[in-house]
């Protein structure tokens, strides 16, 4: 941890370089994080809508 090289300049160049990729998907694990987050949001939204429609129809 103490003897690791300082890679701040390389990381700045990588993240600030012009690219079509959104900044929030540029990191090495960012696509996994985005997939998990959007999957969780989609699952929760689907469950909420399912419950809403069941309540609207009068089912328990």
- Which carries the bigger pLDDT value, residue 14 or residue 60? 14
Residue 1, pLDDT above cutoff 90: no
Burial annotation 16-41 (CB, 10 A radius, 16+ → b, else e): eeeeeeeeeeeeeeeeeeeeeeeeee
Distance (Å, whole) CA 16 – CA 30: 16
Tens digit of each residue's pLDDT (9 = 90 or more) over 26-43: 999 999 999 999 999 999
């Amino acid at each position: 941890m103490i003897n690791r090289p300082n890679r701040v300049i390389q990381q700045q160049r990588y993240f600030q370089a012009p690219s079509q990729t959104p900044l929030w998907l540029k990191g090495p694990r960012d696509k996994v994080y985005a997939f998990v987050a959007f999957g969780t949001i989609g699952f929760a939204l689907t469950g909420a809508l399912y419950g809403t429609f069941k309540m609207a129809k009068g089912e328990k």
